[in-house]
Structure 1
Amino acid sequence: MASGLAERESQWDTLDRLAGLARAGKGQVALISGPVATGKTTLLQLFGEHLETSGFTWRRAIGAESEEALPYGVTTQLLGPVDPDHGLPELCRAALGSDEPVLITVDDVQHADEPSLEVLLACVRRLAGARALIVLTDNAAPGPLHTELLRHRHSTRLAVAPLSETAVGDPEAFALTGGNPLLLAALGEDAGEPGPNYRQALLSCVHRCGPEQARIAAVLGDSPGETPLLTAAGLLADGRFRHPAARAAVLAEMTPGERTGLFAWAARLRHEQGADPVVVAELLTGADRADEPWAGAVLVEAAEQAVQRERIEDAVRYLELARTTAEGAARSAIVARLARIEWRIRPAAANRHLAELITADLDDRDSISLVRLLLWYGRSDEAVPVLERVRASGPAGLHALELWLAANHPRLARPGTPPHAGDDTPGAVAADRSTAAILAVLGRSAAEPAVAEAELMLQVARPSDSLVWGAEAALQALLALLYADRLDQARSWCDKLLAEPGSVPEQAYLTAVRGEMALRRGELAAAWDDATAALELVPPAGWGVAAGLPLACAIVAATRMGRIDDAARLLAEPVPDAMLQSRWGVHYLHARGEHYLATGRDYAALADFLSCGKLTAEWGMDVPGLVPWRTSAADAWLRKSENRAEVRRLLNEQLARVGPGPSRTRGAALRLLAATSQAHSRPQLLAEAVSILRDCGDRFELARALADLSRAYRGVGQLRRASPMARLAAGIVEECGAAILHDEVLPLRTGHDAAGEPDTRQRLATLTESEMRVAVQAAAGLTNREIAAKLHITASTVEQHLTRVYRKLHVTRRRDLPPELHSHLPLAA
């Protein structure tokens, strides 16, 4: 038997047996039936070649649908030119007569013309005593030929089916082809993935089965009724095409008119059957028509469901189509809905819908949404009249809007809005409570409950179909943690949310917040990467007034890294004027001021810092967690070496506001306060600043404080204490990439630059970890009680450790502790 005929052994053996009978003068006829492209032709070809080599005369023909009307077309292929006047007996003698046994094969006999079928049946009736074997193939569809053959005892029926999964040997290949040999071969040519050869082979099968049912199955997504030929050929599984590429190939072959008509018919069918609105909407979008009276309502309902399933792109497609035929208030409602949800995936594009909505007759829900969108894009002049109409109607969602205004656009908010949920819809409550948490942190009310509330909202905030959406609720909650200086908690939540699937804008907003967290830790490269990535995901035009957050982060990071040109380029980026009257604008103003300060424009910097103070005071948001404008303004005054009294006032006021607890702002304020103090007082203030900044994790400010501490030690003649501080500061500067501090820090690395004398290093190596931690804190100037509280041990334990430390280091008192201990500060938390 020829190779390449897996699972065709029994058919081959049967044909071989029939050939033996035919050779002996007992003529036979065999009909091989099976679905298209299942190997019938291959079997016929190989068997014909086999008999031809064994002495048979092989007469062959192939039926074609295009030649069904051609009289004697098949007969001509078998015998050559035919005279229609010759009778059937003479034609049969010509076909069956030969000195050698005869093999007559007709592939796809179902397409044979009527006269040729009569000739074939006449030959079948004359097989008795003939040395002939007739082998026919068809697609298994019942017809007159089958009925006629059943009457003859010398006829044999053979069935051919697609290959089994065992024969295929590859479960994935079987799943894609159903064992259809033609599809299998094409899949192999495409390296195992459906490609052009697979699609071409499938279309060949479809045309041989009749394309109409395949097209209906492709449009509907499954088969609406009996499709025996498609299923038997392995093209469909459970009424569906086995791979999207197959369905796409069938749809692509149709003309636009055919597709439109078929999709429209399918949409009507499914609607009448009561199908899910999303199913009907997909068919309507396939037809690109919504002219049926029921179509608009179905599309809107489908959009609602798509949003709930977080399929926002689908919702946009449905509403875009619904808008094409809607009119009046119905159209306005659709456009408002479209703008609201498109903002979630393409913020810049949503702006195009707003002009139509400003003069439209909207319900309260859509009017509130319009106010928020107009303000997002900095269109405050157009937002104010809409806001007044909303306030006049007093809708249920007004409290949430007022709360959002108070947190983001304070000048437009009504004073005295109570910070609690006023809307009982789940999405609104989540955003309302997140916004309330921000206001609590910025208003210097109970910060701890606000932090707990923000974390709770981060657990439940997900995209939702309310006036606001889960990503904004999450963004507000993260900012509440950021403003409360809970950087570790905020970073953990941010990373968790970024690991979840989300739209591009959601990823951009979270990435921008993560960049701001990195900036506040002095991780300049990470801050730059995140801020610029956020601006690439959503360009500034899409950010609207909120562009102040990523722009500010990128400007400060670039400035501190010495990338002054990059910072200047970002400052040249156009932003809405309304941004500077929003909370986002405070971030931007402060960043611009820092850039001015770094480039020698001290008075311009001071003006921006004081503007931040004026705005935040006016809004009731004057807390350093938003922007530390007082320390920045003090720094600007100090650069001019003037107005020391004002500097001290600002710094003392800042220290009073942050309280005695450790915070980044307190550390920075102490560093600057030391600059206004007497030389002998500076080391103690700076040592406290270093300790605080080390604990808070702000590497940039820590480097500045260490550099100032080194200078302070030099100023009082303690050179051995100065050098380790300088080395540590320089190391942090290099690690952070803070090029702006190079000129300030690197020159300090002079004098005692060795890492301690050998004897000192050896003695330090004898300290245990616990002794080292206590020694480091003592060298930093902390009292025994303060060390005990910091390390969570008793004062007695501190005394015991210090006694052993003194003995090992050969010193008798605290002031003689070696300055090299300061280089271990980051490890002694």
Structure 2
Amino acid sequence: MTGRRIACWETLSCRVQCFASHSGVRAVVFSFARARQFDAQFERLRRAFSRCLSGEAGIVLVEGAVGCGKTYALEAVTAQAAKAGALVLKAYGSSADPAPLDTLRQLLDSPRLPKATADRLRRALDHGALGAAGLLETAGSATPGVPLTQVQGAREFRAALYELAAREPVVICVDELQCVDGLSLQYLLYLATRSHAAKLLMVFAQATDSEQKDAVFNTELLRQPNFQRVRLERLSWEETARLLTTRLGLPDSTDVSYNWYEVSGGNPLLLRALMDDYRTGGVPPLPHHAVDPVVGDMFVQAVLTCVYRSGHTVSRLAEGIAVLGASASPDLLARLLGLGPVGIQRGVAALAGAGLIDGLAFRDPSVEAAVLEDMEPGARLDMNRRAAVLLHQGGGATLAVARHLLAAQSADEPWAVPLLRDAAQQALAEDDAPLAVACLELAYAACDDEELRASIRIGTAGIMWRLNPSASERLLEEPLAALRAERLPASHIGRLIELLLAHGRIEEARCAIGRLNAVMNSAAPTPLSQFRMTARWAQEAGATDTDAQDPGTPERAPGDAPRQGPDGGAFHAPSPSSHRPSSLSTITAAFTGFFGGGEREESPVAAAERVLEVSPLTDATFESIVNSVNALVYAGRPDKAAPWCDSLMEEAESRRSPGWRAIFASIRAEIALRQGNLVESAAYATTALEIVPGRDGSVFIGGPLASQILAYTAMGKYDTAARQLSRPVPEALFRSIYGLGYTRARGRYYLATNRFNAALGEFLMAGKLAQHWELDQPAMLPWRSDAAEAWLALGEREKAATLVSEQLSRIGAGDSRVRGVSLRLLAAAGDHEHRSRLLGQAVEELQCSGDRLELARALDDLGCALRTSGDHGRADAITGRAWQMAKECGAAELCARIRLDSGLDPGDPRQVVQTVRGPLGAKTTVHPSLGSKLSESETRVAALAVDGYTNREIAANLYITISTVEQHLTRVYRKLNIRSRQQLPSALRAEVDEIA
């Protein structure tokens, strides 16, 4: 036995002995007896003892599965016998290989045994041990060849006990009969077959369906007229329920008892262990709530005890069932363990009788886990290896064979590597990415073909995206080293480039493309932009109308299954392979067609949405899905990208793909930034960073980290932003696309904290890298407007205007956000004459973009410009709206600056905004006396309502929902003591003019 088995045995033995020696043992045992309805069997034991008192010898064999109460029954009988004055002699069989007659020597340990009798019995046993190699005569006749010392020893043993039983009743109890040594069995049989008229009761207990040391023993007992057999069965679920109610106070519920019965199998020992574990770690039962059993150490120990007390064959069978799991069958078990059909049948019956298995499966996963953990490590590895071979030979399931190879930590068979690669694909189909990665790792370790190893390693990196982008990135180091040494096969360079670009590692991707061009001897070298969709997103977004009509639903192929989009509409997925470029030509063709260079002329928004609608989230489509979501973001449609991103985050979580979820959370953080939702952006970025372990060694952290820094900076939380900037980042970050965003975020922090030269250096460095990598598109990285802002802070208006004008020339009609920011900065760099007009245009562009934070900045600048020109009424209204919008965005720093620059306190309800201006171009003036009764928001709503605007139009003007408009009007009616908008006083009649 292993140390754990010995510990389990000793622990339970001590508990049983303490339990038996407790003053209330019979009450407890009888409680179990009544619950198990074996009063009749116990009465037979009592009557046998009564006959013993009257001088009639008796033999009782108590049988039952391990743990079903045999020991409890023996203890109850011996307790009653001792109380009646009988001499009780006890012995226990041992699963270890005992020396001959060791079991019977335990009978001499009784303190009530007279010394003379003990000495006589000891001499008899010593005498018999001299001829331990021989056989005893059975059934009263001497067997030829049996050593005379054996016969003499058995006779002396019987004579000593008969002489003792003539004086007082003697009860001999032998537990675990199936483990008693063979010679002790022969002595007991000699005693049993010659004891008819004596005050002697022999009570044996053995496990049913167990291995017998002597097959003749039970047969000979059956021949004796004074023999009785008592069979103890497992508890039913009704009896389990009664015990749970009486012993634990659990509710008398079928559901409760059934759960406990399913785990314990009705085995009293296992049920008692579950009760002990529940008392230790369970929670008090609540009314009308299910109470589940708690599987703890006592239950595990009890399980192992039941297994290993059932004998060597049964314990091996239990190990075989645990190793094979769902693949277990009688034939496979026989071949794995080298057992015959009879041995398998007997062992299965023993385990089933003990309530450990149902069919050929353990009742509870913890039982299987306990058996596996207790196996000798070497034996477990060897059994798993042989199980893999047998399953493969028998045409077993690929994943089942792969699991055994993984458990065996071996893939030496010639078929193992291909099988593991197939198993990885099947595991991915079941969304079990950890299993897929484990299969590929083992295949990689067992493979000696360099090209195949490269394929496996790159494939593993692609799959690892699901789990951990950082780990996926680290897996690329080996293929990169092979590429630099010119050892990477050309067939794998294209996929390596895709993964490098997916990780944003632009410099390494450029080197890989150079190597690919050299290998292919291409007359026209492949540019980076043909591999990278990002540059094309921005380029096309700037020149294409993003409000193009959505394409029609693609034609459904036979057998395609519908998939739900974020709006609940059904769409259909093509083959996963249709979105994974496999060569340079297919990559180029796919990207050209995607962005309108092929036969279909579509806007980036329409093309991106089409990909998202027809692509299921798989490893093959993941990159194109990420690219498509980013396409919506960089095309100026974060409102369309957000629901897709939310849906994809939920799907990634439900499919156990934390790496995917981290990437979509990072994109969602950028989307929130582009909408002006600073708190939301920081939260999504934090989610992305927390999901992925070991993230500090990856360039991936640059994305969410940049969003955090930008969000905290815009909030005015400069200390928090500084802490994020102080986090260590890998040097490789600044050779990746994530480094662009991180550098920009650092520059924005420097700009906000008045380090203008440092900020300018960051922006110019980011711009230089973007140009070098062919990614210089304002939609992706508006570094020119950032640098212009720094130049303005340094007093260099002309340089700022030059940069902004250049940026304006590089964007098309679709990028309203960048255009709005650029126009605002152009107004700041120009003279006062055209400032209001440019800022008005900036406001209109930013209203279309959906970026509330940039709109607040533009409104604030417009308010300042109007105040400078003397239009204080409009200036105060616009400034108030800018402050309110900045507050909603969480931009405390901008709110404070607006208050400081305007001299107003827009948050003070006493300072009523006198002018309301909305995106419809309306200006409304409100009477102060009536306005003083209303809040700022109520005043705005009432001013437009009295002029005949509908609730929908009011909502559009003031950037609020229709429901909010209705609530404001309800409060206005109450404060003014009116019932409808028709009763609004004429004093609220406003003058509505077009804004020039």
- TM-score normalised per structure 1: 0.81
Shift of 1:513: 0.4
SS in 1 for 2:31: coil
In structure 2, what is the Cα distance between the partners aligned to 1:125 and 1:22? 16
**Matching of residues 145-294 of structure 1 within 5 Å:** 145-169=217-241, 170-191=257-278, 192-209=293-310, 210=312, 211-221=315-325, 223=328, 224-225=333-334, 226=344, 227-228=347-348, 229-294=350-415
The CA distance in 2 between the partners of 1:277 and 1:656, in whole Å, is: 55
Any idea what SS the aligned residue of 1:133 has?
A: strand
Q: Establish whether residue 335 from structure 1 lines up as the match of residue 457 from structure 2.
A: yes
Residue type at the aligned position of 1:246: V
Distance in 1 (CA, whole Å) between partners of 2:362 and 2:191 is 41
- C-alpha separation between the residues in 1 aligned to 2:417 and 2:894? 63
Shift of 1:41: 0.4
CA distance in 1 between partners of 2:947 and 2:713 (Å): 33
Q: CA offsets per residue over residues 762-788 of structure 1, 9 Å max, x none? A: 48999999865567999xxxx99x989
Query: Residue by residue, what CA displacement relative to the aligned partner does 1:315-370 show, whole Å, maximum 9, x if unpaired?
Result: 33223333334223444443343344345532243134225532576666523222
Instruction: For 2:417, give the aligned amino acid.
Output: G
- Partner of residue 515, structure 2: 386
Match of 1:369 in 2: 495
Cα offset, 1:442, TM superposition: 11
The question of whether the paired residues in 1 share the 8 Å contact of 2:174 and 2:204 is answered with yes
* 1:350 is the counterpart of 2:505: no
Change (3 A) 1:427 1:588: farther
Query: Secondary structure in 2 aligned to 1:3?
Result: helix
Change (3 A) 1:391 1:791: farther
Q: CA deviation at 1:147?
A: 0.7
- 2: CA distance, partners of 1:434 / 1:332: 24
- List alignment gaps of at least 5 residues for structure 2: 1-26, 128-151, 242-256, 279-292, 335-343, 539-553, 555-573, 913-927, 963-980
For residues 384 and 671 of structure 1, the distance between their equivalents in structure 2, rounded to whole angstroms, comes to 40
Q: CA separation in 2, counterparts of 1:787 and 1:103?
A: 100
CA distances 1:219-268 after superposition (whole Å, capped 9, x unpaired):
22265252332232222233233334333333333333323332222222
1:392-417 Cα distance to aligned partner (Å, 9 max, x none): 599xxx99997433536999xxxxxx
Q: 1:205 to 1:40 in 2, by over 3 A?
A: same
Q: 1:204 to 1:700 in 2, by over 3 A?
A: same
**Are residues 261 and 250 of structure 1, via their aligned partners in 2, closer, same or farther at CA, if it must alter by over 3 Å?**
same
Matched, 1:654 2:808: yes
Distance in 1 between the 2:592 and 2:635 partners? 9
Which residue of structure 2 lines up, in the alignment, with residue 63 of structure 1?
93
Q: Is the 8 A contact 1:434 1:477 kept in 2?
A: no
Shift of 1:291: 2.6
Of residues 506, 531, 534 in structure 1, which corresponds to 2:688? 534
Q: Distance in 1 between matches of 2:824 and 2:319?
A: 76
Among 403, 407, 430, the alignment partner of 2:534 is 407
**Compared CA separation, residues 734 and 343, structure 1 to 2 (3 A):** closer
Equivalent residue for 1:550? 704
Give, in angstroms, the shift of residue 160 of structure 1: 1.8
Deviation at 1:45, TM superposition (A): 0.5
Matches within 5 A, 1:94-105: 94-96=160-162, 97-105=165-173
- In the TM superposition, what is the alpha-carbon distance from 1:107 to its structure 2 partner? 0.9
Change (3 A) 1:218 1:53: same
Q: Provide closer, same or farther for how the CA distance between residues 29 and 772 of structure 1 changes in structure 2, counting only shifts above 3 A.
A: farther
Q: What's 2:864 paired with?
A: 711
Superposition deviation, residue 514 in structure 1: 0.8
Q: What's the counterpart of residue 415 of structure 1?
A: none
Shift, 1:606, TM fit: 5.2
Which residue does the alignment assign to 1:417? Answer: none
Equivalent residues of 1:323, 1:335 under 8 A apart: yes
- Residue 661 (structure 2) aligns with: 507
For 2:729 and 2:947, how far apart are their aligned partners in 1? 50
CA contact (8 A) 1:491 1:514 kept: yes
Distance in 1 of aligned mates of 2:994 and 2:447: 85
Aligned mates of 2:498, 2:96 — CA distance in 1? 65
Shifted more, 425-434 versus 590-599: the winner is 425-434
Q: Which string of whole-angstrom CA distances, capped at 9 and with x for unpartnered residues, describes residues 90-121 of structure 1?
A: 54354352445443321112233344333433
CA distance in 1, matches of 2:934, 2:91: 102
Give 1:701 deviation, angstroms: 1.8
Given that residues 21 and 27 in structure 1 are in contact (C-alpha distance below 8 angstroms), is that contact kept between their aligned partners in structure 2?
yes
- CA 1:268–1:684 in 2, change beyond 3 Å: closer, same or farther? same
Q: State the distance in 2 between where 1:326 and 1:765 align.
A: 73
Task: Output the amino acid matched with 1:527.
Answer: S
What amino acid maps onto 1:759 in structure 2? L
1:762–1:72 distance in 2 versus 1, CA, 3 Å: closer
For 1:95 and 1:643, how far apart are their aligned partners in 2?
118
1:760 correspondence with 2:931: yes
**Letter aligned with residue 369 of structure 1:** R
**Alpha-carbon distance in structure 2 between the residues aligned to 1:326 and 1:627:** 44
Match of 1:490, SS state, is: helix
Which of 67, 74, 85 does residue 37 from structure 1 map onto?
67
- TM-aligned CA deviation for residue 630 of structure 1: 5.2
Cα distance, 1:651 vs structure 2: 5.7
1:479 & 1:57 partners in 2: Cα distance? 88
Residues 399, 489 of structure 1: alpha-carbon distance in 2 compared, 3 angstrom cutoff: farther
Instruction: Name the residue aligned to 1:799.
Output: none
Q: Tell me if the contact between 1:438 and 1:450 (Cα under 8 Å) persists in the aligned partners.
A: no
Answer yes or no: is 1:426 the counterpart of 2:548: no
CA displacement at 1:717 relative to structure 2: 3.4
| Residue pair 2:702, 2:738 contacting (<8 A) in 1 also | yes
Partner SS for 1:519: helix
The share of aligned pairs that are identical, in percent, is 32
Which of 623, 627, 633 in structure 2 is aligned with 1:476?
627
**Does 2:46 correspond to 1:16?**
yes
> Does the 8 A contact of 1:631 with 1:651 survive in 2?
no
Listed as ranges, the matches of 1:482-631 within 5 Å are: 482-500=633-651, 501=653, 502-538=656-692, 543-544=698-699, 548-564=702-718, 567=721, 574=729, 584=738, 586-602=740-756, 605=759, 624-629=778-783, 631=785
Q: Is the 8 A contact 2:797 2:830 kept in 1?
A: no
SS in 1 for 2:636: coil
Q: What SS does structure 2 have at the residue aligned with 1:60?
A: strand
CA contact (8 A) 1:259 1:287 kept: yes
Q: Does 1:109 align with 2:139?
A: no
* Helix, strand or coil at the partner of 2:531: helix
CA distance in 1, matches of 2:321, 2:741: 56
Structure 1 counterpart of 2:394, which letter?
Q
Contact 1:438 1:476 in 2 (8 A): no
C-alpha distance 596-645 of structure 1, shift in aligned 2 (>3 A): closer
TM-score (norm 2): 0.68
Give the number of aligned pairs: 783
For residues 766 and 634 of structure 1, what CA distance do their matches in structure 2 show?
36
2:32 is equivalent to residue 4 of structure 1: yes
* 3-state SS of paired residue (2:309): helix
* Aligned positions of 1:113-124 closer than 5 A: 113-124=181-192
* Structure 1 residues 652 and 249: CA distance shift in structure 2, 3 A: closer
Unaligned runs of 5+ in 1: 412-420, 793-802, 818-829
- Aligned letter for 1:814? V
Task: Report if the CA contact (8 A) 1:67-1:73 is conserved.
Answer: no
Quote how far apart the aligned CAs of 1:709 are.
Answer: 3.6
Indicate conservation of the 8 Å contact 1:709/1:725, yes or no. yes
